[in-house]
Amino acid sequence: ARMGRTLVELFYDVISPYSWLAFEALCRYRHIWNIDLRFRPAFLGGIMQQTGNKPPAMLPKRGEYMLKDMKRMAKYYQVPVHMSPDAFQHIMGTSSLTAMRFITAIDMTNPQYLEPLSREFWMRFWSQHEDISQPENILAVARQAGLSAELSQKALEMISSSAVKDRLKDTTAEALKYGAFGMPAVVAHYDGEPHLFFGSDRLELLGSIIGE
């Protein structure tokens, strides 16, 4: 972290709509708050499995609430999340593993594209309701984010490498070590210790704890 700045890590997965809200809000706050924002692409499936957590929609009442909540949050944060009534089937039927490995490969090779690339994945999945699991869709997302065909192709080839797989596993394990059980997991390093905040609706509390 730069001198006197608080390091804030955002552990996220593009399959999580609340991660998108936290991502955009923190992107705005980093120009106002004295923070060093670090994006940490991780795998939500791994976190759910390791902690025995269940998707909110497994509880129908919670699923109903989440649809309304996302609508309000999207409007409040002005982020174009569009929850369709079959959003949960959409999530359950999609694995984000390939997408998160691709994002990890870009983080390892060309981290300057990490922010626009992650944003495009959310746009495609949560705004346009399109697939993000197939290679051709992933390449389309990368193109949209401004990556060259050559760079995207290289990242796509890297996703089956143990370097990328291990990096994603390690980042996911790190989130778990901080106490994460879902996404987004925001970790602020302040006063010599990590403070974990879950979800996109704890940012006022985060600000308060780090003296903002």
Banded pLDDT at 3 (limits 50, 70, 90): low
Output the pLDDT for position 93: 83
Does the pLDDT of residue 1 top 50, yes or no?
Answer: no
More confident residue, 142 or 89: 142
Burial environment of residue 155 by CB neighbours within 10 A (0 to 12, 13 to 18, 19 or more): buried
Does the pLDDT of residue 2 top 60, yes or no?
Answer: no
d(CA 206, CA 195) in angstroms, rounded, equals 8
In the chain, pLDDT over 70 holds for what percent of residues?
Answer: 99
**H-type alpha helices, 123-161:** 135-144, 149-158
The predicted model gives 27-34 an average pLDDT of 94
- Is the CB of residue 6 less than 8 Å from the CB of residue 210? yes
pLDDT tens, position by position, 183-199: 999 999 999 999 999 99
Structure tokens at 161: 């490498």
pLDDT tens, position by position, 75-106: 999 999 998 878 788 788 889 999 999 999 99
To the question of pTM greater than 0.75 for the whole model, the response is yes
Banded pLDDT at 58 (limits 50, 70, 90): confident
36-75 exposure pattern, b = at least 16 Cβ within 10 A, e = fewer: ebebbbbbbebbbeeeeeeebbeeeeeeeebeebbeebbe
> Is 16 an active-site residue?
yes
Find the Cα–Cα–Cα–Cα dihedral 143, 115, 180, 171, rounded to 10°. Answer: 70
- Is the CB of residue 167 less than 8 Å from the CB of residue 43? no
Does the pLDDT of residue 57 top 90, yes or no?
Answer: no
Q: What is the mean pLDDT of the chain?
A: 94
d(CA 70, CA 52) in angstroms, rounded, equals 24
Query: Which domains, and CATH codes, for the chain?
Result: 6-210 (3.40.30.10)
Catalytic residue among 16, 19, 118, 152: 16
- Is the CB of residue 88 less than 8 Å from the CB of residue 55? yes
The predicted model gives 197-205 an average pLDDT of 95
d(CA 144, CA 133) in angstroms, rounded, equals 16
Amino acid, res. 72: R
